Structure 1
Amino acid sequence: MNDLKGKIAIVTGGGQGIGKAITLRLAAEGCLVAIFDLRPDAAEETAQAARSTGGNVKVYGVDVSDQAAVNAAVASVEADLGPVWLLVNNAGWDQPAPFLSTDSTLWNKIIAINLMGPLNLHKAVCPGMVQRGAGRVVNIASDAARVGTATEAVYSACKGGIIAFTKSVARELARNNVLLNAVCPGPTNTPMMQQVLGTGEQAVKWKDAMVRGIPLKRMGEPEDYAGIVAFLASSDAGYITGQTISVSGGLNMI
């Protein structure tokens, strides 16, 4: 993976959690990284961390569910940095609850961020990749899409949709040398997971139960996913497209 230097990458939700780890790794590999984040102030801390070790990261405040805002931000990135080589759709959100206790207001917000957001980014970025005859997309899905997760039915449905969408567009764009793959994290120590688990004794019990089900006997850390994303962005992965890769400590072996 020595050929990413100088290439332009967009990472959505790159300010914290898995997105932060991906941003820092791509910057360390020499990419010029644009973070798209709803909280640009927090994302700026990630950018500063990358810059402190020689990385080049620029922050754009973007709501990925707003197609017009996404289009404008992508245009700004290409004007500021250059043509986009890599798109990493990482931004996500959920509010866990039993499905029958939820309503369409919550469903629509989950769908807007986790499904429509990536669609907006593909629509804005991929035409340029097709025109140039090269590019990579890595969609951060979830093992929830592959096995289901109680209290996350709509989120799981969105991530399942992202896997199917990735495969479909990979077939459409293969002739243009635009490669798309999906990465599925397992349970991970992130701010969103902390929100899901909550605090207190019951939260500790839930976390311990999850760890017991993972063959490697630990939850994932954000850094566990950055390497596979960098690999898929590199020429080492030049013959890989339309794949779904679980990174979950062995939790999901299908």
Structure 2
Amino acid sequence: MGQKWLDGKTAVITGAASGIGFAIAERFAQQGANVIVSDIREQAAMDSARVLAERGYTAVGRAVNAAAEEDLQALVDFALQAFGTVEIWVNNAGMQHVANVEEFPVPTYRRMIDLMLVGPFIATKHIFPVMKRHQYGRILNIASINGLIGFAGKAAYNSAKHGVIGLTKVAALEGAGFGITVNALCPGYVDTPLVRNQLADLARVRGISPEQVLEEVIYPLVPQRRLLEPAEVADYALFLASHHGRSITGQAVVIDGGYVAQ
């Protein structure tokens, strides 16, 4: 059997207790990585890490507020103590709130920007010195097609995801001389709790029933007329995090069933 793509590497994934984050953690673990499953929900993080460990993989859980600098610094320190270094960092933690601009709560807007834009900046700031010392690193920011196009009702989410693509480009330039790649993975609609939970909000904003959202709002935008599976996003993340993706940096990489091709 050939060498696994991430043998001996250590990967930290935020928001990894479920959805895309867990799918990435699982795929990385399958390919030989030591995985740290971090999530704001402590029990969920521990449970998800235990699931991976019971399957024979190396995984540990850690409770982390991915918007708080002290938590992110502590996560870096924890990873270094547990495994000696960190080669791969995935900024995946996110949240959603759907409302028209004039109805959007300012505290919620700020909270979402902190989590999905300021948090990745802080994480990059603290993990960069580690990666630079070892002249190697892979940083993957989970953005969205909503970082490339607008969508009514998602002022904060669109703002954060557009911003994190800009952050990705700057970090890629600063890391290029140190063997570090930084990319933003931009999924379309993925069948996760985050997406399923927002269907009712989209229905309210657009004045239709939740049952109509997929058929009348989402699928007409997606030529393949389906939700992506988390495993599909994880496969793309694996490629970018491996040696196979070494020449790809500073990119907003799209996986969306054809959404932005129209």
Equivalent of residue 220 in structure 1, options 214, 218, 228: 228
Specify the alignment match of 1:126 in structure 2.
128
Identity within the alignment, %: 31
Unaligned regions of 5+ residues in structure 2, if any?
Answer: none
The aligned counterpart of 2:212 is 205
Deviation of the 1:101 alpha carbon:
0.7
The equivalent of 1:164 in structure 2 is: 166
SS of 1:230's equivalent in the other structure is helix
Q: Distance in 2 between matches of 1:26 and 1:109?
A: 29
- What residue number does 2:90 align with? 88
The code of the aligned residue for 2:224 comes to L
1:28 CA drift (Å): 0.5
- Out of 200-209 and 7-16, give the one that drifted further: 200-209
After superposition, residues 1-254 of structure 1 pair within 5 angstroms as 2-198=4-200, 202-209=209-216, 210-253=218-261
1:3 positional shift:
3.3
Conserved? CA contact 2:48–2:61, under 8 Å: no
Q: Give yes or no for contact 2:132–2:180 (8 Å, CA) kept in 1.
A: yes
* 1:202 partner amino acid: S
Shift of the alpha carbon at 1:147? 1.1
Deviations 1:222-251 (A, max 9, x none): 111001111111111111111111111111
Report the Cα offset of residue 173 of structure 1: 1.1
**What do residues 167-217 of structure 1 show as CA deviations (whole Å, max 9, x unaligned)?**
111011101111101100101111111221129981121111212321112
User: Equivalents in 1 of 2:48, 2:105: separation in Å?
Assistant: 35
How high is the TM-score relative to the length of structure 2?
0.93
Contact 2:16 2:45 in 1 (8 A): yes
> Please, which moves more after superposition, 191-200 or 91-100?
191-200
Aligned residues: 254
Give the Cα separation in 1 of the matches to 2:126 and 2:32: 24
Which stretch has the larger CA shift, 26-35 or 39-48? 39-48
- Deviation, structure 1 residue 33: 0.5
Q: Deviation per CA, 1:152-178, whole angstroms, max 9, x where unpaired?
A: 111101100000110111011101111
* Aligned CA-pair RMSD: 1.6
> Could you list the per-position Cα deviations for residues 95-151 of structure 1 after superposition, in whole angstroms to 9, with x for gaps in the alignment?
111111123211111111111111111111111101111100011001011111111
**d(CA) in 2 for partners of 1:66 and 1:28?**
30
Q: Which runs of 4+ in 1 moved over 6 A?
A: none
Equivalent residues of 2:50, 2:60 under 8 A apart: no
Please say if residues 28 and 50 of structure 1, whose CA atoms lie closer than 8 Å, have aligned partners that are also in contact: no
Distance across 2 between alignment mates of 1:246 and 1:252: 8
Cα distance in 2, alignment partners of residues 125 and 35 from structure 1:
16
Q: Contact 1:24/1:46 (CA < 8 Å) preserved in 2?
A: no
Structure 2 residue identity aligned to 1:229: A
Letter in 1 for 2:211: V
Please give the secondary structure, in 2, of the residue aligned with 1:147: coil
What is the rounded CA distance, in whole Å, between the counterparts of 1:104 and 1:198 in structure 2?
21
Asked whether the 8 Å contact 1:64–1:120 carries over to 2, the reply is no
Once residues 213 and 64 of structure 1 are traced to their aligned partners in structure 2, the CA distance between those partners, rounded to angstroms, is 31
